[in-house]
């Protein structure tokens, strides 16, 4: 049977709540709002609240432009009204403090005089703030302003389900997947004692990725709450979706009422109409309270039988006959999605007869009395069978619910682990997710695992290795992390083997008297051990021979000597620098007791550190906030720079161009050793730093301090990666030679070996010196060999080194101008397009650490043009646009002239060329009249406009690599995938994201930016995972991504508008997901599916 419209009516939008509905009789209001107005004396109050007044009352002077009105409520700037209901108004607003765009719900001002409405609004606040679930709209802030309650929520951009009902017709799998998530969100509310009581498509919001969020708890009620709200008398909710007991005004509603509403939503998505549609509100309520809905299969074709059974079980008239919980409904929907038997059973003939008898008691009694004797035996047998079946179903349901509770518990454990930022947080989360994957393997689980894999973590490889004897003797690990040296009591040192605690060497201290040792250290090559006594004397031993070689007269350290390293070896252990008792620094060959160089430093020395090549010495003085760098070839003072606080520990980066100072103010400062410029500050310790070290590769730091924490820091992101509490403070930290392990001691007379799980193999976060300052991101481009990334911002051009994972250089090219950048066919030539200066080539020379950009040939002098972020198939064709001139061009780089020029296209934003170079797509900013804000399709040969497609403001359009479809997107709600054969919408391949990029290899994928995340799809359009930046420990968010795919498709780069570059290795990420059982093996990834395949060549 073809789908028939249930009535002929005019489509309206409710002016109060924004619901789109069909009606000729409701005078503009939807049934729910009209019903509320019947009982609400104040519903017609049109007075404005103080925050709704225009910002400026004064009239503008003649011929002047009136100022743009700015409305504020508390610390929010009100941007636009999104809708209003019987109680509140919802605005799109900006949090002035953080700049975040949110949804703000405020109680309507005229309701402040109605105590019950204020109570009801606060009831909603109480409801939403008690919930924390991925599919319940999250609340950011709750408060009151001048006596008016409000709360702010996440702003979703995908509209409500009421606006998207048509998108789900004929797509039962998508319906079941969506409602399973919604049911879990509702179950979360039920488990916390909250009934929604107004579930409907308009109260289910969708984000740009299509993920649902249950919202609007304006009618929510606590299951155990006996307070009475009298605003709308007995009937609350929307007539088309409320349960029979709710329609009849029955008190004491249970969770079954919400389950009925979920069934009504499924019904409408399957059939395009609610279960009951009357000519009036009263008739709709009567139908809902007295009748059973028609089977969905009688109204629409191709509805799966099991899904229809699930829907009708939700819509049972008797609450006890519905699903026992929203979790049970979610389980059954997932059972159907995964091809398992469902728990619901269709209503049989016997049960239909019993229901008829309840509605018609007299005829039923007569028939039953005649048939009683004939069917007594059959009845007994039937009852027994029903009881057995019911017992079986209850057992199966109980087991399924138990599994679901375990699944939810494991997910909660994983989420909680990721929030701590402490050692083991991501590993604990992954262990929980591995167990959860054995119950369900879904996209939500995979996304959480991707987030966990993006965090660097540390775990104990060997913990609590016994050493001693005192709680804080000086100690030092060798470079292989196989031995530890420590004072073994006055008069001797010992070297212990960590594997078994055996003493491998004992070094006697001559004439020690009553002195203990301040500090000891292995030389970098492990051949020597040096120890300092309280009087400043330094003793140097040959470890293999267990022989004291020589004694030096060093300077004593007056305060906290146990972490003052006033001596240092060069990296090859050939030179030793010592703070002298008589002042200054003596530099000795390690095999001599005569100094080769004297450095005239006047103050007391706190820390010394040689550069990696041994040519320079960094010096920190006691109590003075300055750092000196001495050139040892002269010797001469090469650089002196001021610090924010006295330095207690120093170390050089392996490249010799940077060093780090751990200071008294608890911060670490990354410094340029050539000019003294501060390149980064690491904050997190609560007390002064006692030791800081670079890893052998130089991509991270480790530090410890008097707060007894060990912290790992990323040099690429300048952020803390992980913190290990209750360890450290002693300056005995040491990396293994390959940087994958770390040794430390604690005050409990134990040593510890840790394994570092490096997330940089999966995700790197890279920043430049403008971190956190918003910028206009123009373009992003990988070099052909994948070793560099070039990015164009409003300030200039940045080059990033993908191998080291750091910013290689920043270049002030056409500053204060929008730009675009692209590597040409070799990795040493850049093409830069600037609105100021036209098109110009730049050559890259110098070392990989310090590349130089040299201006080259000017290819086109016409200004105001930039080019698209995504190149066409032919790299010699350059798409250029100028919004100021209203011109779109296709420029031939070889011929140096335009192949195509289209004038008179105001507010042009972007241009994309089809792979066959026959068609172009123009996108617009959406600020000019007419067709701007849409996507125009033009034929390149005859310069003829073929069609216009919907597209959002500041949109882009990208052709698929095979040219069979095009994705149009932007900031507005219009977004879609269109077939290029006939320019009709493709409802299967509907990617809700912007700035689409592709990889076309064996493991093809599509990626797009969405809000603060990047979404990756498989070639068939199904979700693969969401890449969420691991930034929960920072004070900023990432917005406005530009994307670029690396050569071979292994890497995906995303640059945000706050100067943060994220680099994902998708190949490595896939492999790690497979290790945890969260991604299908390669051999199963491209098996034929029932969905159309996206052809990518």
Supply the angle between the helices 305-314 and 172-191 in degrees, to the nearest 10: 30
DSSP conformation letters of 107-146: E-GGGGG-HHHHHHHHHHHHHHHT---TTBPPEEEEEEET
Three-class SS string for 526-571? CCEEEEECCCCEEEEEECCCCEEEEEEEECCCCCCHHHCECEEECC
3-state secondary structure 776-801: CEEEEEECCCCCEEEEEECCCEEEEE
Q: What is d(CA 713, CA 668) in angstroms, rounded to the nearest whole number?
A: 10
Task: Report the distance separating Cα 1011 and Cα 1028, nearest Å.
Answer: 10
Tokens 């430390």, residue located:
744
| Euclidean distance between CA atoms 560 and 518, whole angstroms | 9
CA dihedral defined by 106, 109, 115, 117, rounded to 10 degrees?
Answer: -50
Q: State how far Cα 134 lies from the chain centre.
A: 13
Q: What is the three-class DSSP state of 831?
A: strand
What region, left, alpha or beta, does residue 282 occupy, with left being phi > 0 and alpha being psi -120 to 50 degrees? alpha
Bond from prior residue into 135 cis (ω within 30 degrees of 0): no
Phi, psi dihedral angles at 785 (to 5 degrees): -90, 0
Inter-axis angle of helices 425-437 and 443-453, nearest 10: 160
**326-337 and 172-191 are packed helices; what angle lies between their axes, rounded to 10 degrees?**
150
- Residue 1033 counted as an annotated binding residue: no
| Residue 703, strand partner residues | 692, 711
Q: How many residues does the chain have?
A: 1097
Q: How many CB atoms lie within 10 A of CB 1057?
A: 17
Q: Which residues contact 485 (CB under 8 A, 6 or more apart)?
A: 475, 476, 478, 493, 494, 495, 496, 520, 522, 529
Distance of alpha carbon 341 from alpha carbon 867, whole angstroms: 54
Distance separating alpha carbons of residues 69 and 208, to the nearest angstrom = 29
Q: What is the helix (H) or strand (E) element at residue 427, kind and residue range?
A: helix 425-437
- Determine if the peptide bond prior to 635 is cis (ω within 30°): yes
- How many CA atoms, within 13 angstroms, populate the side-chain half-sphere of residue 1? 11
Q: What letters, b where the CB count within 10 A reaches 16 and e where it falls short, cover 615-644? A: ebbbbbbbeebebbbbebeebeebbebebe
> Does an H or E element contain 334, and which?
helix 326-337
Annotated binding site: which residue ranges?
Answer: 105
Going by the annotation, the residues of the binding site for ATP are 105
């Amino acid at each position: 049977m073809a789908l028939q419209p249930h009535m002929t009516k005019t489509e309206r939008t409710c002016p109060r709540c924004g619901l789109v509905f069909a009606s000729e009789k409701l005078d503009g209001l939807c049934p729910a709002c009209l019903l509320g107005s019947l009982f609400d004396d104040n519903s017609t109050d049109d007075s404005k609240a103080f925050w709704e007044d225009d910002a400026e009352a004064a009239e503008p002077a003649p011929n002047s432009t009136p100022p743009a009105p700015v409305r504020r409520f508390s610390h929010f700037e009100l941007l636009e009204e999104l809708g209003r209901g019987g109680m509140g108004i919802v605005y799109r607003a900006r949090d002035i403090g953080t700049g975040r765009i949110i949804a703000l719900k405020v109680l309507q001002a005229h309701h402040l005089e109605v105590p019950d409405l204020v109570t009801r609004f606060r009831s909603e606040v109480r409801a939403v703030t008690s919930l924390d679930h991925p599919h319940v709209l999250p609340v950011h802030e709750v408060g009151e302003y001048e006596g008016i309650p409000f709360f702010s929520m996440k702003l979703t951009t995908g509209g409500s389900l009421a606006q998207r009902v048509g998108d789900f017709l004929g797509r039962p799998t998508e319906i079941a997947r969506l409602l399973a998530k919604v049911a879990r969100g509702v179950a979360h509310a039920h488990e916390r004692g909250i009934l929604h009581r107004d579930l409907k498509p308009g109260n289910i919001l969708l984000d740009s990725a299509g993920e649902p969020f249950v919202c609007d708890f304006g009618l929510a009620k606590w299951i155990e709450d006996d307070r009475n709200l009298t605003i709308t008398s007995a009937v609350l909710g929307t007539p088309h979706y409320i349960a029979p007991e709710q329609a009849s005004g029955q008190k004491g509603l249970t969770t079954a009422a919400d389950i009925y509403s979920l069934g009504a939503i499924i019904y409408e998505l399957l059939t395009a109409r609610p279960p009951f549609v009357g000519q009036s509100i009263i008739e709709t309520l009567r139908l809902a309270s007295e009748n059973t809905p028609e089977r969905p299969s009688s109204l629409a074709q191709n509805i799966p039988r099991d899904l229809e059974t699930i829907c009708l079980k939700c819509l049972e008239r008797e609450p006890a006959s519905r699903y026992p919980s929203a979790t049970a409904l979610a389980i059954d929907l997932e059972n159907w999605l995964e091809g398992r038997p469902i728990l619901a059973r269709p209503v049989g003939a016997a049960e239909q007869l019993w229901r008829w008898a309840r509605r018609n008691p007299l005829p039923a009694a007569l028939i039953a009395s005649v048939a009683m004797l004939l069917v007594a035996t059959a009845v007994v047998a039937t009852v027994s069978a029903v009881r057995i079946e019911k017992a079986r179903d209850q057992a199966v349901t109980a087991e399924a619910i138990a599994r679901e509770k375990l699944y939810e518990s494991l997910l909660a454990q994983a989420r909680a682990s990721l929030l701590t930022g402490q050692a083991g947080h991501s590993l604990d989360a992954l262990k929980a997710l591995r167990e959860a994957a054995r119950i369900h393997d879904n996209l939500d689980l995979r996304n959480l695992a991707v987030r966990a894999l993006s965090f660097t973590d540390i775990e104990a490889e060997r913990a609590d290795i016994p050493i001693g004897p005192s709680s804080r003797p000086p100690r030092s690990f060798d470079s292989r992390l196989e031995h530890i040296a420590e004072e073994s009591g006055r008069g001797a040192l010992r070297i212990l083997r960590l594997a078994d605690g055996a003493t491998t060497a004992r070094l006697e201290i001559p004439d020690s008297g009553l002195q203990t040792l301040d500090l000891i250290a292995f030389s970098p090559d492990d051949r020597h051990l040096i120890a300092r006594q309280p009087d400043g004397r330094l003793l140097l031993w040959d470890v293999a021979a267990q022989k004291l070689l020589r004694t030096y007269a060093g300077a004593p350290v007056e305060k906290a000597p146990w972490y003052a390293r006033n001596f240092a070896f060069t990296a090859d252990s050939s030179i030793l620098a010592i703070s002298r008792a008589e002042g200054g620094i003596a530099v000795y060959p390690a095999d001599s007791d005569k100094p080769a160089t004297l450095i005239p430093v006047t103050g007391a020395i706190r820390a010394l550190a040689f550069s990696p090549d041994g040519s320079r010495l960094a010096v920190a003085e006691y109590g003075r906030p300055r750092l000196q760098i001495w050139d040892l070839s002269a010797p001469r003072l090469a650089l002196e720079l001021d610090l924010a606080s006295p330095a207690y520990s120093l170390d050089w980066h392996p490249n010799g161009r940077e060093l780090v100072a751990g200071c008294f103010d608890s911060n670490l400062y990354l410094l340029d050793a050539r000019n003294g410029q501060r390149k980064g500050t690491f904050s997190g310790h609560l007390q002064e730093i006692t030791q800081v070290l670079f890893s052998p590769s130089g991509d991270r730091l480790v530090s410890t301090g008097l707060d007894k924490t060990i912290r790992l820091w990323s040099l690429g992101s300048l952020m803390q990666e992980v913190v290990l509490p209750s360890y450290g403070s002693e300056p005995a930290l040491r990396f293994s030679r390959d940087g994958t392990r770390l040794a430390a001691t604690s005050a409990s007379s134990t040593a510890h070996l840790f394994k570092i799980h490096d997330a940089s193999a999966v995700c790197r976060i890279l920043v430049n010196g403008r971190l956190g300052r918003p910028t206009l991101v123009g373009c992003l481009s990988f070099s052909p060999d994948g070793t560099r990334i070039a990015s164009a911002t409003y300030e200039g051009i940045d080059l990033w080194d993908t191998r080291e994972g750091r910013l290689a250089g920043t270049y002030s090219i056409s500053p204060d101008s929008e730009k675009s950048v692209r590597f040409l066919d070799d990795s040493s030539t850049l093409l830069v397009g600037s609105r100021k200066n036209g098109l110009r080539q730049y050559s890259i020379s110098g070392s990989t650490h310090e590349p130089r950009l040299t201006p080259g040939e000017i290819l086109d002098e016409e200004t105001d043009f930039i080019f698209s972020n995504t190149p066409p198939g032919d790299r010699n064709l350059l798409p250029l646009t100028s919004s100021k001139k209203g011109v779109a061009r296709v420029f031939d780089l070889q011929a140096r002239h335009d192949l195509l020029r289209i004038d008179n296209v105001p507010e042009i934003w972007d241009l994309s060329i089809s792979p066959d170079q026959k068609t172009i797509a123009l996108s617009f900013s959406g600020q000019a009249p007419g067709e701007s804000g849409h996507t125009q399709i033009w034929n390149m040969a005859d310069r003829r406009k073929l069609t216009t497609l919907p597209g959002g403001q500041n949109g882009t359009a990208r052709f698929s690599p095979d040219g069979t479809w095009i994705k149009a997107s932007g900031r507005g709600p219009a977004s879609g995938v269109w077939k290029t054969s006939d320019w009709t919408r493709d409802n299967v391949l509907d990617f809700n994201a912007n700035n689409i990029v592709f990889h076309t290899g064996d493991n093809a994928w599509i990626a797009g930016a969405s809000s603060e995340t990047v979404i990756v799809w498989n070639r068939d359009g199904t979700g693969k995972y969401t890449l969420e930046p691991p930034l929960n420990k920072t004070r900023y968010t990432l917005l406005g991504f530009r994307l670029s795919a690396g050569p071979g498709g292994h890497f995906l780069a995303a640059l945000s508008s706050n100067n943060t570059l994220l680099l994902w290795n998708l190949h490595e990420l896939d492999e790690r997901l497979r290790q945890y059982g969260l991604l299908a093996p390669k051999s199963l990834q491209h098996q034929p599916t029932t969905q159309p395949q996206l052809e990518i060549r």
